[in-house]
Amino acid sequence: MPIFEKLALIVSDTERAHEVAPMYRDLTDWVPLEDAEAAVVIGGDGAMLQALHAMLDSGIIKPVYGVNLGTVGFLMNHNRAPEKLLRRIERARSVAVAPLCMDAVTQDGRTQEFCAINEVSLLRETRQTAKIEVSVDEKVRIKELVCDGVLVATPAGSTAYNLSANGPILPLDSNLLALTPISPFRPRRWRGALLPDRSTIRFRVLESEKRPVSVVADQKEVRDIAEVSLHIAREQELRLLFDPGHALDERIVAEQFLV
């Protein structure tokens, strides 16, 4: 079990989080993230994603324990007695999550790079359906996917937008990515694919001026794209801390039995 002597506290910018924050601030002498061995996030899944993205952007990557004050809290732990927090962190299990990194090229030639914890989604910008060429490991698999969009989800994100788009739930240790179409029109019967997470996936937007497409990596959007390339970044692996019996991999399995 991990034992962390120096902890950083990250509090969501919500009224509820600020109400309970004093109870957590009194537990220990918190330190800045760069000096910490691990971090505690108080908030919901959105706050956790924001904290993880900030770590990726800064290069200061620490194990993170989340306390849920949001709605779903899929990436968080239950909100229980604050005075037991430090003991819970000592008993927590560490789960590795590798981000999905995106290189997007816009129609005017600009390149933007972002990473996603959950998924990267391509979405039509207008009433016109999107037309997208899909390649995997430099081999064209679908010459023309006519759709509202298409997404690639990590196991950690497979129960989010991917599941809503009828994509598969992926066990956390599956080493797979879900490639899932959003309202596909052609090929009509194509429902997506499971790919090894070592794959490089490339999307090229067809008729991009007539049928503009945006790309969203979790919360960051790039509009009017020409092509997008995706790969898992093992060198930027993140670690989430969960209470025993409440780990992310168990919750992903349990999600498949909800009716």
Known binding-site positions for NAD(+): 45-46, 118-119, 148, 156, 159-164
Q: Which candidate in 45, 137, 173, 197 is catalytic? A: 45
Contacts of 122 (CB under 8 A, 6+ apart): 130, 132, 149, 150, 151, 203, 205, 213, 214, 215, 225, 228
Do residues 242 and 93 lie in contact, with contact meaning Cβ atoms separated by under 8 Å?
yes
Structure tokens at 118: 């959950």
Residue in the block written with tokens 């600009």? 110
Alpha carbon dihedral 98, 99, 103, 106, in 10-degree steps, equals 160
Whether the CA torsion 29, 25, 97, 100 is positive or negative: it is negative
Q: 9-47: string of b/e by CB count within 10 Å (b at 16+)?
A: bbbbeeeebeeebeebeeeeebeebeebebbbbbbbbbb
Do residues 113 and 103 lie in contact, with contact meaning Cβ atoms separated by under 8 Å?
yes
For residue 203, which phi and psi values (nearest 5 degrees)? -115, 135
**Residue 197 annotated in active site:** no
- Give the span between the Cα atoms of 93 and 251, in whole angstroms: 13
The catalytic site residues sit at: 45
